[in-house]
Chain A
């Protein structure tokens, strides 16, 4: 019964991730692709080693390729978020399924994307030295991992502090702890600045803002869609599974 509930949530999470991915895809195509094209045009105008054989044409990269990347990403994060939701439901506080899903999606946007982005922002083609890719990849994933683990730790600490400080103050203290440790990570992890000389600043700015928009839309759409689906899935499970519980608690109240 419980295992079936987890499976239902997982399937709905992946579905919600796919739907959110479609929204994100629209944003990526409209806002992001023009910046990618401009960056590639800059790259071709300024480098002589590139411009060999194209394995995949630009038009395929910008349409089917982009769709594959964004939709698979949506399904994957949807599945992981649904599993996290299964753990979080009823454990993080007095939140129903929709509120839990919204909070989880907001927290995921901040920890999975925003926090790593502020240290290692997304770069368009032609920004970044190919020789440092190993280092950049390791640092980026380290930052994502650190941010997610710290957020989980902060949630547990907040939960522990709640009986003593009250929910609000405990959440503020835990959030402050998260910010301080992330600040230390920002300070001590190496910074990257591999911008080619004379790369257009406006293009870099627009590209980075468009990646932020893609993620914001993805997580917002996911939180709302999954919250709706989870509420329906759990609503029917609760009504079918524990009908006797409200009745037994209602009768002592009736006698008092």
Chain B
């Protein structure tokens, strides 16, 4: 009887937290990588250019407009 009552009150209430130390390396490297991707979709060859020309801008042009980024 008691066994069927106890688990829901303890086991399912709050999921265990992941330690910050385990998250930080992933957050740093992959967070940065993801931001670089966002930069290339959202801003490259607009206000700032890492690659010369307008190829990147023209290729993602429609996506940039429709995702809400400022574009020319």
Contact = CB atoms under 8 A, between A and B. Distances in A.
Interface string B30-53: 110111011011110011100001
A249 interface: yes
A66 interface: yes
Most chain B beta-carbon neighbours within 10 Å: one of A66, A113, A138, A249 = A66
Contact of B62 (A65, A80, A134): A65
Interface string A96-139: 11001000000000000100110011111100101001101110
B7 A83 contact: no
Interface in A1-29: 2-3, 5-7, 10, 28
B55 A125 contact: no
A5 B22 CA distance: 9
Interface residues of B, number: 53
Nearest to A133: B47
Interface stretch (A158-166, A170-178, A208-216): A208-216
A238 interface: yes
Interface string B1-32: 01101110011111111111011011100110
Contacts of A210: 66
Interface of B: 2-3, 5-7, 10-20, 22-23, 25-27, 30-31, 33-35, 37-38, 40-43, 46-48, 53-55, 58-72
